[in-house]
Amino acid sequence: MNKDTPAGTLYVVATPIGNLDDISQRAIRVLADVRLIASEDTRRTGRLLRRLGIRTPLTSYYREREQHKAELLLRRLLDGEDIALVSDAGTPGISDPGAVLVRLARDNRIRVVPVPGPSALTAAVSAAGLDETPFYFGGFLPARQEARKKFLTPLAAMPCALVFYESPHRIGRSLADCLQVLGDRPALLFRELTKLHEECLQGSLSELLARTDEGIRGELVLVIHGAPADVRERPGEIDELIRWYRDRAGSSLKDAVRRISADLAISRSRIYQRALAIWKENEAPSDD
């Protein structure tokens, strides 16, 4: 690192999820001006750059070597180079690599600038017609059934919409588990957003399961409506939600009570007594 050289800037750049015309003028300018583009899929990004007439060098930045590549890119940022980070499609860091490099850059006081644009998440939510303003984004559901059901269980009482990414070869199993754990709720399944064969399947989870029984192709976003009022009031579901905040979210008791109260529209005092009892489950017994 040259201490006399100001550090570069890390640009987090959103790229099209299908339709190449969705790229912004700002993204084009940034990709052309930076010294290097760190890409999850250099072949896919290379095709985009060739169409745009951009000759900026590419380097790979994918999940399996994310920590190692982030450290190498940090050195170049500290030496004053501006770098753009892109995923294979959409916005980096949203179920795609990027968080490691962004955290490392911020820890070293390097400027991080988002260049917003296409995202399958916001595209699906904007076209879903949800009544609820908040929603929960779970990324990709776990691949194994046991882990998937465990992941879904504390979400069953949430009143907000649930949004997941899913792959074509796993969507049937995921829909079946969602149906079993969450109940037969209204849902939408978006396929190939912004692409030539874009499609939205709408119906109950059981109906979507039947419609995908013979297989489906393309990249998928599943939007499931929030829990009905009677489900939100079931004590067992609230207990599971409290345990999720305690064990998986690493929340404090106070923070868990505040969040659950806001999510479920239930008074804090009502939730606090249940949460206090559940928090004490992990306490070691006294010697007295």
Structural domain count of the chain: 3
- Co-location of 126 and 105 in the same domain: no
According to DSSP, the residues that pair with 204 across neighbouring strands are 186
Q: 60 pLDDT exceeds 70?
A: yes
pTM of the entire predicted model: 0.78
Q: Would you say residue 194 lies in a domain?
A: yes
**269 vs 201, residue with greater confidence:** 201
Residue 288: which pLDDT band, with cuts at 50, 70 and 90? Answer: very low
- How much is the pLDDT for 1? 54
Percentage of residues in the chain with pLDDT exceeding 90? 69
Q: 285 pLDDT exceeds 70?
A: no
Q: Where are the beta strands (DSSP E) in the chain?
A: 9-13, 36-39, 58-60, 83-86, 111-115, 135-140, 161-166, 186-191, 199-204, 220-224
Average confidence score pLDDT of the chain: 90
Question: Of 118, 117, 120, nearest to 167 (Cα)?
Answer: 120
**Amino acid, res. 233:** E
Q: Using one digit for the tens of pLDDT, what is the confidence trace for 78-90?
A: 999 999 999 999 9
**Interatomic CA distance for residues 123 and 221, integer angstroms:** 10
Instruction: Please provide residue 197's backbone torsions phi and psi, each rounded to the nearest 5 degrees.
Output: -100, 35
The alpha carbon dihedral of 208, 213, 216, 222 has a sign of positive
Read off the tokens for 110: 């390097």
Domain boundary among 186, 201, 227: 227
Structural domain boundaries, residue 222: 121-227
